[in-house]
Amino acid sequence: MSQSIDTMTIRDAIYGRCSVRSYTSERIDQPTLHTLLAAAVRAPTAMHGEPWQFAIVQDAELLKRLSDRAKELFSAEAAHLHPDQHSLAVFTQPSFNVFYDAGTLVVICAKNTGHFALADCWLAAQNLMLAAHGMGLGTCVIGSAASALNLPDVKLELGIPPATTAVAPIIVGKPRGEALASARNEPQVLAWR
């Protein structure tokens, strides 16, 4: 699976990257994951803090258990926040997997909660996703899993230290079929002085 990261222009990567929600069963190999992590840590970081750490999950049974915990927790949290319960119904379906059956989950974690640690981790996430797209892989941020990934027993199982925060859960895999980038609104400029 190892592919070169140098396969497209920056413009093509930015405009072509999209959230992929259907994957083949092909597993991401270690050299490819190391390439993605190397791209992630090249992200800008406030005061050179480099707060990021990574947990990688490829065990199918563990991914299924994590999906079930995430669905349960997210459904309970979202019920209080979202009046449109219809859009949340998918989380109650036993067959729904929040990780869309992808074989690899990369959890970008912040080892501290400094002023900019979370922002730094999200910048690393974008680098990882753009690099993956450049290598022909799909990615999707799974925000609905973040709360479950921060539960003490889940952190223990994944080897995430108690004081570390799981920030950006990202699935990575080979897309099943062609994934197309969605349209975006024009930028809303609030001021141009």
Going from N- to C-terminal start, the domains of the chain cover: 11-173
| Cα–Cα distances in angstroms (integers) from residue 58 to residues 5, 103, 105, 107, 125, in the given order | 22, 6, 7, 11, 18
Counting other chains too, the contacts that 174-180 makes at CB distance below 8 Å and 24 or more residues apart are 174/1, 174/23, 174/24, 174/26, 174/136, 174/137, 174/138, 175/20, 175/22, 175/23, 175/24, 175/137, 175/138, 176/22, 176/23, 176/24, 177/22, 179/18, 179/20, 179/22, 179/138, 180/18
Q: Which tokens belong to 81?
A: 């926040």
State how far the Cα of 47 lies from the Cα of 70, in Å rounded to an integer.
33
Q: Which pLDDT does position 63 carry in this prediction?
A: 97
**Looking at the domain 11-173, which fold is it?**
NADH Oxidase (3.40.109)
Beta carbons within 8 Å of 116's beta carbon, 6+ residues apart: 45, 46, 47, 49
Q: Which pLDDT does position 55 carry in this prediction?
A: 98
**3-state secondary structure (DSSP) of residue 170:** strand
Q: Which pLDDT does position 25 carry in this prediction?
A: 82
* SS3 sequence of 89-127: HHHHCCCCCCCCCCCEEEEEEECCCCCCHHHHHHHHHHH
pLDDT tens for the chain, residues 1 to 193: 556 667 788 899 999 999 999 999 888 999 999 999 999 999 999 988 899 999 999 999 999 999 999 999 988 877 666 666 666 778 888 889 999 999 999 999 999 778 899 999 999 999 999 999 999 999 999 999 999 999 999 999 999 999 999 999 999 999 998 888 889 999 999 999 9
